[in-house]
Structure 1
Amino acid sequence: MCGRFVSKTDAEMERAFGLTRSGWRKGWAGFNVAPSQAVPIVRAVDGEREGALVRWGLIPFWAKGEVPRYSTINARVETIEKAASYRGPWKRGQRCVIPALGFYEWKQLEKGKQPWFIRVAGGMPFGLLGLWDRSTRGDGEVIESCTIITLPANPLVAEIHAKGRMPAMRTPEECAHWLEGEEHAARGVLTPFPAARMEAWPVSRKVNSPANDGPELVQPLDDAEGPVVSS
């Protein structure tokens, strides 16, 4: 799964994803982005790439703006075409990319769970692949929201995540098929990102609380069980 990630919204990120118009907060950076928060997304609208802020945790259009009782922060790739919450946005082509610099997963150790920071090697930005939807409350308020797609993990992430899952992700240059492609082309990019192009290391347990935020959260621990991993 993917339950926390790191992102930013600056001119560099806008250029990386080719935005032609942006509704992002300028100069924002989040080092411990958590579910239910407003997150930046990129989506294709009328032939242009648009940046928007939406709720992380998808609220289906038919839910009348009410948050589902079950978690919708992640959508399993195996069920996006048939699950009630996701089949609508999938069929309507409401695909999006959540710009990121890394994400966290927790490894089970004898003394508890140890968070790890995982990113594309070298720290290059990438996109978490997701779906977005729009739902309207009874009072007319419109809520836009998103979910991040997960799939079977590559060897690097599988070594960390006990359930062997990871987010679907691609570099900015590789996101075209997902954002603008036909359904079959989009389906084709839902494969594990190559482990050889990733790196990871253990970080402070301060990341366990969404209240903690700051660049220190992604710094490697000197005394953690496990070295920096790069396949």
Structure 2
Amino acid sequence: MCGRFSLTISGDEISKYFQVSQVQDWKPRYNIAPSQEIVTIVQTLLGQRQLKGMKWGLIPSWSKDGKIASKLINARGETVAEKPSFRNAFKHRRCLIMADGFYEWQNTRNSKQPYYIHLKNRHPFALAGLWEVSNSGQTEEVLSCCIITTEANELMKPLHHRMPVILSGDAYSQWLDHNVFDREILESFLTSYGSDAMSAYQVSQKVNRPTNDNPDCLEPIVN
């Protein structure tokens, strides 16, 4: 699964790597948690990439209960095209969720040890996301999203059996394109990222608290 991630780069770097207009008043995030608002990229009907703030935790358009979002922070890539909560968004509302690392917890004898996982080159990347618009019983529309997961690669298997889908840069355009409906094409993107391009290290329990959103969340610990 994916329950925490980071996006610590500057607004200028976001514009550069993801080909969007300059990000205004962006503050780096070190410990992004479910239910918080995150910045995503969607494609307009004119084919332009656009930044959108969304709540992390999908609220299906048919749901009137906003509490369902806490159960839908992730969608399994193997069933995303079939599950009622996700299949419509999979066809019509796909997004990029920008990150430069994510966290996973390994079960140990006495507790759970958090790890920070990133690309070896330290470049940012995009997670495959879905989004929805719903009023969920409220007066205003709510934009919400989730992260698609897949089977863990060799690096991740000792930590968890699932990992978020990291899209290659070549996949961004098709993933965002409203005119791409082919299930086979879309599902071909939902694979595990190569272990040889990734790295992981232990971090402190500070990341366990969503209120801790500071650079020290990323600091490695030495056993």
Query: In the alignment, does 2:132 pair up with 1:148?
Result: no
- In structure 2, the CA distance between the partners of 1:109 and 1:145, relative to structure 1 (3 Å rule), is same
Structure 1 unaligned spans of 5+: 224-231
TM-score for both structures, normalised by structure 2: 0.91
User: How far apart in 2 are the matches of 1:48 and 1:69?
Assistant: 28
| 1:17 counterpart residue number | 18
SS where residue 176 of structure 1 aligns? helix
User: How far apart in 1 are the matches of 2:131 and 2:81?
Assistant: 14
Structure 1 segment 33-48 matched on structure 2, within 5 A: 33-46=32-45, 47-48=47-48
Letter in 1 for 2:208: N
- Percent identity reads 37
Structure 1 segment 1-231 matched on structure 2, within 5 A: 1-8=1-8, 10-20=11-21, 26-46=25-45, 47-64=47-64, 66-68=66-68, 71-92=71-92, 94-161=93-160, 164-180=161-177, 182=180, 183=182, 184-223=184-223
- In the TM superposition, residue 91 of structure 1 has moved relative to its aligned partner by 2.2
- In structure 2, the CA distance between the partners of 1:99 and 1:110, relative to structure 1 (3 Å rule), is same
User: How far apart in 1 are the matches of 2:175 and 2:113?
Assistant: 32
User: How far apart in 2 are the matches of 1:204 and 1:178?
Assistant: 35
Structure with greater strand percent = 1
Task: Count matched residues.
Answer: 218
8 Å CA contact retained: 1:154, 1:193: yes
SS where residue 6 of structure 2 aligns? strand
Q: After the TM superposition, which parts of structure 1 deviate over 6 Å for at least 4 consecutive aligned residues?
A: none
Letter in 2 for 1:186: L
User: How far apart in 2 are the matches of 1:18 and 1:197?
Assistant: 23
- In the TM superposition, residue 67 of structure 1 has moved relative to its aligned partner by 2.8
| CA offsets 1:22-78 (integer angstroms, 9 cap, x no match) | 7x6522211110000000101111211011100000001111362317600000112
| CA offsets 1:74-100 (integer angstroms, 9 cap, x no match) | 0011221121210111122x1001100
SS where residue 156 of structure 2 aligns? helix
Please give the root-mean-square deviation of Cα atoms over the aligned residues, in Å.
Answer: 1.8
User: How far apart in 1 are the matches of 2:200 and 2:170?
Assistant: 22
- In the TM superposition, residue 137 of structure 1 has moved relative to its aligned partner by 4.3
- In the TM superposition, residue 139 of structure 1 has moved relative to its aligned partner by 5.0
- In the TM superposition, residue 122 of structure 1 has moved relative to its aligned partner by 2.1
TM-score for both structures, normalised by structure 1: 0.88
